[in-house]
Structure 1
Amino acid sequence: MTGTPQLGLRANLAQFSLLVAVNALVGGMLGQERVVLPLLAERTFHLTAYTGALTFILAFGLVKALTNFFAGTWSDRFGRKPVLVAGWLIGLPVPLLLIWAPTWGWVIAANVLLGVNQGLTWSTTVIMKIDLVGPARRGLAMGLNEAAGYVAVAATAMATGYLADAYGLRPAPFLLGVAYAALGLGLSTLVVRETRAHALQEAGTTHHGLTTRAVFTRTSFTEPALSSASQAGLVNNLNDGLAWGLFPILFTSHGLGLAKVGLLGALYPAVWGFTQLATGSLSDRIGRKWLIAGGMLLQAAALALVAVSTNFAGWIVAVTALGLGTAAVYPTLLAAVGDVAQPTWRARAVGVYRLWRDGGFAAGALLAGTIADLWGIPTAIWTVAAITAISGLVVTLRMYETHPRSFR
């Protein structure tokens, strides 16, 4: 690309659309595990303790959280594209390890690599889209990005559920992951273009950069909107870690077959994914704060409904509501971080936010697994529902509206 980079969705539609497709492949890599892996832990590796069965989510969450932080820093230092390509290279062995794993340790190793893959690729596609669109359509951009990723999670979860039902838990469900990794690496290497110049164009000469330590402190603790977003992101993925690890076990314990479990496992991210197309754009019109607060409270109510339900129809309603609440929160939190962080340190702020957000996977696996072992799955779900409600109240009381229109 030559000349001055142009900001905006229309001016960068081809690259933006390509990055949406790449992020769908990133989501598919995650989706291959959503239904099958908790059941693999129980049925193939005979892990009876919930805490032990959820170690794959704990490993994934910790590694992804740390990788998010470095993805932002490396994107500022080396450029976005090299980080994206590196993420796909690291993701290539993941489905093969899951297919061939003779022990649970291999599954943990695969999820360490998956955490690095997701941290590098998903973080970088987020940063690149923010670079391209500029400030006016940031919510829409994040809605499209997260929708692509989580619709792919849903579609792959449903597909793997049916494949597992028809052909067994291995290898058929994970062959999808092999195809996703190969295609993602090819597109990222050959077709995706660097976008760091767009961020520098938006920054101009009006803003000074911050040290990485200052960005971490501001995003995590001192800046009210950024720190409120960080805690809400952590709690959001805490309840997603619960859903990923324990919902399939809960549903099968009530006699549901793998096809229905796959449908429930897909419905939640499908509603989440598709609805983000509306909520991201809506946040550009009405602002970020109340979508985030309302979404967290809706998630809390949905989790409570999961806990009290005992049949397929009740869980259909509950996971649909959980998906709607998550859709209100997920792209809006990223847009809020993009609103507040200046272009010169935005990539690092996104990395810090995603450090906290995806640390929620590990926190959810550890907390939910421990409580489920001591008092059962319903108690674990009630506990996480209460934490989610408190998080929504924190946003209500501490966060200010970040949308640029509020500054006019």
Structure 2
Amino acid sequence: MNRPIQLGLRANAAQFTLLVAINALVGGMVGQQQTVLPLLATDVFGLTGYTFIFTYVAAFGVTKAIANYVAGTFSDRYGRRPVLLAGWLFAVPVPLLLIWAPNWGWVVAANVLLGINQGLTWSTTVVMKIDLVGPRQRGLAMGLNEAAGYGAVAVTSLVAGYLAEQYGLRPAPFLLGLCYTALALLLSGILVRETRGHALLDAGRHGARADGLHDHLHAELSNREILTQTSLKEPALSSASQAGLVNNLNFGLSWGLFPLLFATADLSVGQIGLLFALYPAVWGAGQLVTGALSDRIGRKHLITTGMATQAAALAVIALGDGFTVWAAGTALLGVGTAMVYPTLLAVIGDVAHPIWRGRAVGVYRVWRDLGYAVGAVVGGIVADALGLHAAVWATAAVSAVSAITVAVRMYETHQPVPAPQRRG
């Protein structure tokens, strides 16, 4: 006998926890390669130009952005679970391509497939968690989701760096990805349940805001209208989209550039792995606090402060030239990102109607994950022309402008929802 659908974290604790675990595996697929691939580019394939080295980050970012849009559209049309399963099927060849790659083109191809995997799976787990918890604990849900994903990025980056140092750049680090993919397919295929029914229940209870905002965003919007509102017109949605793009511009730059910058100080592979893991580790752990905090104090000020903190952290990294200063800078960058990442997703959940929530999340994540490509290309061009430190300074300036934009344009989207009354 099927249990009645209920909204809330406690009522859906088992499925929510399962989806958190699956999203950790999604993050681990990125972490397996972040420390290793820049070193593989220089040491194995003899690449020297920064722009050329960053092609794999750009390929990943563009593909993931497109996959995000597909994930949002298909999850609203066909359901969340089929999209999640399809995403994991695209992950199967990724570690094998990286292990056997005879040239850099294979690495780029692997990152195209990885981008599809990440777009389909991460977008879908985000939407499914928003579906399950309802409006009252949206920030907490996104904090737990993103903490699991980026905590796994950090742990896997650290483990991959250790494996590379002990056993070589290939194949040991990429065996992690094979294990993650097998486990995720097993869990997604057997234990995950569809959550679109929860979204429909939420839609039935969806009421207008007391302040009149969002009244123009009625339940029936076309795909073009959702794209326009999320990208340009609606102040909170479009502010979140630009902040997300800049946030991942920073991440894309760090992915391709930080290992090379850190290597200029003659650090070991293990030390570089530790520095790189510190950023997503602080980011991941911090989201356990910041997601729930946004449910209490609101979204806007956390996002503004977070983008400003990222700008300051990048300035510290640009000024540094050794392990200690870079560790402080990457940790501060993680703090700023933790303030922003789950809170932006909560903003989308606050504003988007449950009927088109999946598509709004998809459009937001298109813009956010284009930041990978923008960071890789712009960072590579500036680094080639002016040096590695100049590329970091440029990104710090962009982050500061993003913080100002959010402060001026975004309104507070979170309205506290009273806890359900207990009977009896």
TM-score, L = length of structure 2: 0.95
- Give the C-alpha shift of residue 4 in structure 1: 3.5
Structure 1 counterpart of 2:16: 16
Partner of 1:233 in structure 2?
A: 244
- Residue 298 (structure 2) aligns with: 287
Q: 1:404 offset after TM fit, Å?
A: 1.7
Q: % of aligned pairs identical?
A: 65
Q: Is the 8 A contact 2:164 2:172 kept in 1?
A: yes
Show CA shifts across 1:325-360 (max 9, x none): 000000000001100001001110000000000000
What is the aligned partner in structure 2 of residue 34 from structure 1?
34
Asked if 1:325 corresponds to 2:336, the answer is: yes
Aligned-partner residue type, residue 382 of structure 2: I
CA RMSD of aligned residues (A): 1.1
Query: Would the aligned equivalents of 2:72 and 2:360 in 1 still touch at CA under 8 Å?
Result: yes
Q: What secondary structure, in the 3-state scheme, does the structure 1 residue paired with 2:146 have? A: helix
Counterparts in 2 of 1:387-398, with a 5 A limit?
Answer: 387-398=398-409
TM-score (norm 1): 0.98
For residues 123-162 of structure 1, give each alpha carbon's deviation from its aligned partner in whole angstroms, at most 9, with x where no partner exists. 0000000000000000000000000000000000000111
> SS of the counterpart of 1:9?
coil
**Where does structure 1 lack aligned partners over 5 or more consecutive residues?**
none
Q: How far is the alpha carbon of 1:209 from its aligned partner?
A: 2.1
Structure 2 gaps, min length 5: 207-217, 419-424
Q: Please say if residues 136 and 416 of structure 2, whose CA atoms lie closer than 8 Å, have aligned partners that are also in contact.
A: no
SS in structure 2 of the partner of residue 88 of structure 1:
helix
Give the Å deviation of 1:272. Answer: 0.2
Tell me the amino acid that sits aligned with residue 251 of structure 1. Answer: F
The reply on whether 1:386 has 2:397 as its aligned counterpart is yes
> Aligned partners of 1:301 and 1:400: how far apart in 2?
24
One-letter amino acid of the structure 1 residue matched with residue 57 of structure 2: I
Deviation at 1:100, TM superposition (A): 0.4
1:143 match: 143
TM-superposed deviation, 1:208? 2.3
C-alpha distance 101-344 of structure 1, shift in aligned 2 (>3 A): same
Alignment partner of 1:246 is 2:257: yes
Q: Aligned residue for 2:282?
A: 271
What amino acid maps onto 1:390 in structure 2?
Answer: V
1:126 aligns with 2:126: yes
Corresponding position of 2:272? 261
* Equivalent residue runs for 1:276-315 within 5 Å: 276-315=287-326
Tell me the residue number matched to 2:421: none
Aligned mates of 2:132, 2:83 — CA distance in 1: 17
**Counterpart amino acid of 1:291?**
L
Residues 136 and 417, structure 2, Cα contact 8 Å, conserved in 1: no
SS in 1 for 2:192: coil
Query: C-alpha separation between the residues in 2 aligned to 1:3 and 1:87?
Result: 28
Give the Cα separation in 2 of the matches to 1:57 and 1:307.
21
Cα distance in 2 between the residues matched to 1:47 and 1:370: 15
Q: Aligned AA for 1:303?
A: L
Deviation for aligned residue 1:3: 5.0
**How much has 1:254 moved relative to structure 2?**
1.0
Deviation string, structure 1 residues 348-392 (Cα, Å, up to 9, x no partner): 000000000000000000000000001100000000100010000
- In 1: Cα distance, 2:69 partner to 2:304 partner: 25
- Alpha-carbon deviation of 1:5? 1.0
Q: Is the 8 A contact 2:135 2:417 kept in 1?
A: no
